[in-house]
Structure 1
Amino acid sequence: MKDYLRKHPHVRTIRVAAADLNGQARGKRVPARFADKVVKDGTRFPFSVLNLDIWGEDIDDSPLVFEMGDQDGVLKPTERGFMPMPWLEAPTALLPIWMFRENGQPYEGDPRHALRAVVDRYKEKGLTPVCAMELEFFLIDDSGKTMQVPASPRSGKRRKAAETLSIRALDAFDTFFTDLYDACEAMDIPADTTTSETGLGQFEVNLMHCDDALRAADDAWLFKMLVKGLARRHGFAASFMAKPYADYSGSGLHTHFSVLDQKGDNIFDSGGPKGTAALRHAVAGCLNAMHDSALVFAPHFNSYERLVPDKHAPTAISWGYENRTTAIRIPAGNPAARRIEHRVAGGDVNPYLMLAAILGAALTGIEDAVEPPPPITGNAYAVDLPQIPSSWEEAIEAFEHSDVLYRFLPREIIRNLVQTKRQELYYIAELTPEERLELYLDTV
């Protein structure tokens, strides 16, 4: 890590940052000449900082604040190391960190540690999850009283229509996407294909599959930070909020995953299109936990405006082969690449919690060898099926009182997230719809 700054002597400051429960980057600005101390000793800030609400405020009834004296945790660099921050004017390096207790034990309320614990359970069984993510987001001109599509830097025109898989829409913002791919390469984020999506100014970027789930979540977290920061340099906003426009589809964060055994073979590959028993068991685990873990996949008030029928987001707890109306889709293709696509999460999620919930649920299904219901063919919206919670309140209740979530999420994460969302639910009621959009536009 120290070599990075020696090789980049022009870097003047560093940021040390960890992800809180909402996926917000929390940390400090440090002069580059003091970076060696941070690398060697870490840094410190209160445990409560990873449990702030969406406004960055303390949780009123959290035991982490006054009850514990607002004690410090110790934050150490992750294995990711330094990377550039191409969206800033001054040469700056980012050092991702995560939180530990004074005795060196991981802090159970850190979402990155929650994912690490799930990955460790896979390792104990000689298994390795392989993950890839598809992230949708909107480019937005928020300079006026209402949000709208940014004017094309090439033509100066605004196209106020859906541009599904439109090359023209990609070309209109070619300068932005060229800079984005250059920045992804500099930050070692494996950005692959970009497509124009069905919303106004909506795009999707796929991140390549990775056999390190922590790194895959890092990539998604860093990518969201990069896209939002870089868009501002180009004169508009980028947002991963679930549903900025009522009349158009929202943004999802779809996760594809398979599982390798100790020989490197895909345990979902049966040699044919249907997959193995292990695939069905993983699907069943995901379905069984889906209702109770909806708060992870839809963590904000605005999230539930996306989860409505016939808008390309799942509403039923269901699965199917090559079926995009279901919550879980088994894509077609080469049997060696047989995988599960989990389609519930919005773009506004914390990637660490999301991946911990998906992989944790899948592993419980594999461990219990449970069978899923029959796969859905045709339109899942038209079938009478168990439903994903349709409101924030319902999701908070289900998350708090779940029995299954304790099998793969730390109790401290569950308690802290419930307290956070109850506080946000209370204060969000005081905001107008316009104020809610403004809040989520920049934060998620």
Structure 2
Amino acid sequence: MSSRNWTQELPKAARDYVEGRRLDEVECIVADMAGVARGKAMPASKFAQQEKFFLPNSIFLQTITGEWADNPTGAFTEPDMVLTPDFSTASAAPWTADITLQVIHDVLDQQGRPVPVAPRNVLKRIVGLYEEKGWRPVVAPEMEFFLVARNIDPNQPIIPPMGRSGRRAAAKQAYSMSAVDEYGKVIDDIYDFAEAQGFEIDGILQEGGAGQVEINLAHGDPVRLADEIFYFKRLIREAALRHDCFATFMAKPIEGEPGSAMHIHHSVVDIKTGKNIFSAANGQETPAFLHFIAGMQTHLPAAIALLAPYVNSYRRYVPDFAAPINLEWGRDNRTTGLRVPISGPEARRLENRLAGMDCNPYLGLAASLACGYLGLTEGKMPRAECLGDAYMSEDELPYNLGDALDLMAESDAMREVIGAEFTEVYQSVKRNEYKEFLQVISPWEREHLLLNV
């Protein structure tokens, strides 16, 4: 990396964090299929002398259990990929004992081309499709998660954490300030870590589950916000560990409680004019807005495997349990899977309420934006707006991971926009995980089938 002072290329928050202090370590990371950070940590002095480093492409074939899926694109020779730092992503790791920075890296092959199966590259691909049409997509994610008591035995159910009152966190306390105060020290650390990392939190609130929290992020560029969610998951887990509890982003961690979603708000801006293409000059909705909704209704079934990537994800799709399981759309209607929030014309947007918080943020945003993009290019009209309770609608979504993967594999349109090679590798990884799950015998089966059938 030559002898230049590379720290001058860092964002202001990262420069402020290291100013006047000795930087000890740099973590060079990428997100794998699950959104897990993979990479290398090295002394800052060594990082300053390197312009790139290498990781095998097999990191994108690793399942959530640590097994290896078959490589559908060729022999399993594990060629090296070239990783180069994206200094705009440099961020503090304020929970470490030493002064440490994290840097997300671009993933290229040895010919300098983006590796198509890298999740961050998949999202960049989708953003690029918008840009080719003269559009700039804008998103605003909402992150839901649970704080839970430490669980070191997977055979035991997950339970809510102990609050400062000495009582377990209570459910059905949505928007309660006193409920948030029960684990205020964790929230304080989340704020402190986020500030050190230069992240803007739009708001924190108590959700409907016991120990369930929601963090809203300000709207912006999809890749930047996916980077932030990737970082946020780690900082939230670290903040929880400081206070003797876990943070989990499982879609449905506690039986009988609501699940955790990653609602995604979408708008699209004309690059030349800077105007929201969903609103006309007179403030009314444009045909493009309706085309975007139609794309969601048409293509989301084929994208669900990316928005709900685990067997547990489908436990969140329960009727009348605070999760939309439909493709209806409506204005200010939280029973619909596709909601149009109240806003002025400049902020007109569509909220996709189907994604789970367990999805890889790069792939979740990519999948949702891909559906909207297809709608804009196809020019179809959506079904009539749902004016009532959409929970009563007919089932339109897959109820398990296997069916979701089948729908994804059958969709030529989704395969084309997401990328053929990525689709094949993702299918291989997820079918491996699904096969492993089907070999596990659950307590329900032992309780009800052992002596009764």
With normalisation by structure 1, the TM-score equals: 0.92
Alignment of 1:257-336 (within 5 A): 257-261=266-270, 262-270=272-280, 275-336=285-346
SS in 1 for 2:83: strand
Pick from 21, 31, 53 the counterpart of residue 33 of structure 2. Answer: 21
Partner of 1:150: 161
2: CA distance, partners of 1:277 / 1:317: 19
Pick from 218, 229, 242 the counterpart of residue 220 of structure 1. Answer: 229
Q: Give the deviation of 1:407 after TM superposition.
A: 3.0
Q: Give the deviation of 1:161 after TM superposition.
A: 2.7
2: CA distance, partners of 1:101 / 1:9: 36
Number of aligned pairs?
A: 428
Alignment of 1:100-179 (within 5 A): 100-143=108-151, 145-152=156-163, 154-179=164-189
Q: Give the deviation of 1:432 after TM superposition.
A: 5.0
Query: What's the CA shift string for 1:111-134, capped at 9, x where partnerless?
Result: 111111111121122211111100
Q: Does residue 340 of the first structure (1) align with residue 345 of the second (2)?
A: no
Partner of 1:424: 433
2: CA distance, partners of 1:8 / 1:15: 20
Q: 1:8 to 1:69 in 2, by over 3 A?
A: farther
Q: Where do 5+ consecutive residues of structure 2 fail to align?
A: 1-5, 444-453
2: CA distance, partners of 1:353 / 1:374: 29
Pick from 67, 80, 84 the counterpart of residue 92 of structure 2. Answer: 84
Q: Give the deviation of 1:227 after TM superposition.
A: 0.8
Partner of 1:387: 396
1: CA distance, partners of 2:442 / 2:201: 34
SS in 2 for 1:431: coil
SS in 2 for 1:75: strand
Amino acid across the alignment from 1:149: P
2:327 touches 2:336 (CA, 8 Å); kept in 1?
A: yes
SS in 2 for 1:422: helix
2:72 touches 2:424 (CA, 8 Å); kept in 1?
A: no
1: CA distance, partners of 2:73 / 2:106: 17
Q: Give the deviation of 1:375 after TM superposition.
A: 1.2
Partner of 2:448: none
Q: 1:232 to 1:34 in 2, by over 3 A?
A: same
Quick one: percent identity of the two aligned structures? 34
1: CA distance, partners of 2:22 / 2:157: 40
Q: 1:414 to 1:62 in 2, by over 3 A?
A: same
Q: Give the deviation of 1:50 after TM superposition.
A: 2.1
With normalisation by structure 2, the TM-score equals: 0.90
1: CA distance, partners of 2:190 / 2:343: 29
- TM-align CA RMSD: 2.0
2: CA distance, partners of 1:89 / 1:236: 20
Q: Where do 5+ consecutive residues of structure 1 fail to align?
A: 435-444
Partner of 2:251: 242
SS in 2 for 1:130: strand
Query: What's the CA shift string for 1:45-101, capped at 9, x where partnerless?
Result: 111112210023221x21468x15111111111243421112323322111113101
2: CA distance, partners of 1:118 / 1:135: 22
Amino acid across the alignment from 1:387: E
2: CA distance, partners of 1:322 / 1:282: 17
2:157 touches 2:254 (CA, 8 Å); kept in 1?
A: no
Q: 1:272 to 1:382 in 2, by over 3 A?
A: farther
SS in 1 for 2:377: helix
SS in 2 for 1:37: coil
Partner of 1:36: 48
Q: Give the deviation of 1:257 after TM superposition.
A: 1.3
Q: 1:238 to 1:272 in 2, by over 3 A?
A: farther
Amino acid across the alignment from 2:259: G
Q: 1:92 to 1:422 in 2, by over 3 A?
A: same
2: CA distance, partners of 1:217 / 1:143: 28
2: CA distance, partners of 1:104 / 1:363: 27
Pick from 369, 372, 386 the counterpart of residue 376 of structure 1. Answer: 386
Amino acid across the alignment from 1:104: G
